[in-house]
Amino acid sequence: MTTPQPTGIVLFAHGSRDPLWHRPIEAVAAQMRELAPSTLVVCAYLELSTPDLPAAVADLVAQGARAVRIVPMFLGVGRHAREDLPALVHDLRVQYHHIPILLQDAVGENPRMVELLAHIALDSA
């Protein structure tokens, strides 16, 4: 029986100089680790924060990831998600040509997220 190849997950967000801004993204990563302790998960940021996406992918590869899935933690799909992120992923695919690097749709495009946000907003009323 072969052991499945580990997939590393990058939670990718915009970033901020304010350290409190990072808490929700880091909380998602912590929850993922709690739900699936063997999951390789890191946070990465486009700007104003570290680590950036190349450093996060390098970290996952160093931890033994044989595939990487990038999860854009954006509610809206603006210029960063449409242009900047695909360019970064292209460069990573060139650098790590032996490792599949998958780019998931932004979380804001997931119907489950839309439904969850609607429920949260209704519960707050």
- Write the pLDDT tens digit of every residue in 4-52: 669 999 999 999 999 899 999 999 999 999 999 999 999 999 999 999 9
pLDDT of 3 reads 53
CA proximity to 96, closest of 73, 68, 64, 124? 68
Q: How far is CA 29 from the centre of its chain?
A: 9
pLDDT of 124 reads 65
Reported as a pLDDT band with limits 50, 70 and 90, residue 81 is: confident
Strand order in the sheet with 67-72: 40-45, 7-13, 67-72, 101-103
- Structural domains in the chain, CATH included, are 7-123 (3.40.50.1400)
Q: How far is CA 22 from the centre of its chain?
A: 13
Reported as a pLDDT band with limits 50, 70 and 90, residue 93 is: very high
